Amino acid sequence: MPVFRNLTKVAKQALLSTPVCGCQPLTVAVRTISFSPRQVTSDASFHSVSFSETDHPKVLITGGLGQLGVGLAKLLRKRFGKNNVILSDIRKPPNNVFHSGPFIYSDILDYKNLREIVVNNRITWLVHYSALLSAVGEANVALARSVNITGLHNILDIAAEHGLRLFVPSTIGAFGPSSPRNPTPDVCVQRPRTIYGVSKVHAELMGEYYHHRYGLDFRCLRYPGIISADSMPGGGTTDYAVQIFHDAIKTGKFECNLRPDSRLPMMYIDDCLRATLEVLEAPADTLSMRTYNINAMSFTPEELAQELRKQMPELEVTYNIDPVRQAIADSWPMDFDDSNARNDWGWKHDYDLPELVQTMLNYLESERVRSLCRVEPLD
Cα separation, 43 vs 34, whole angstroms: 16
237 Cβ partners below 8 Å, 6+ apart? 134, 135, 173, 225, 258, 264, 325, 328, 329, 332
Q: How far apart are CA 242 and CA 303, in angstroms?
A: 14
Among candidate residues 207, 196, 175, the one with its CA nearest the CA of residue 132: 196
Residue from 196, 223, 292, 351 carrying the catalytic annotation: 196
Cβ–Cβ contacts within 10 Å for residue 84, how many?
A: 19
Is residue 210 among the annotated active site residues?
A: no
> In terms of C-beta distances under 8 Å and separation of at least 24 residues, what long-range contacts does 203-208 make, across chains too?
203/148, 203/152, 203/168, 203/170, 204/170, 204/174, 204/291, 206/152, 206/153, 206/156, 207/156, 207/166, 207/168, 207/290, 207/291, 208/290, 208/291
DSSP symbol at 174 = G
Question: How far is the C-alpha of 161 from the C-alpha of 49, rounded, in Å?
Answer: 13
Q: Quick one: how far is CA 161 from the chain centroid?
A: 20
Could you give the CA distance from residue 352 to residue 356 in angstroms, rounded to a whole number? 6
Alpha helix (H) residue ranges in the chain: 2-16, 69-80, 95-98, 111-120, 134-139, 141-145, 151-161, 195-214, 240-250, 269-281, 301-309, 323-330, 339-345, 353-373
The residues carrying an active-site annotation are 196
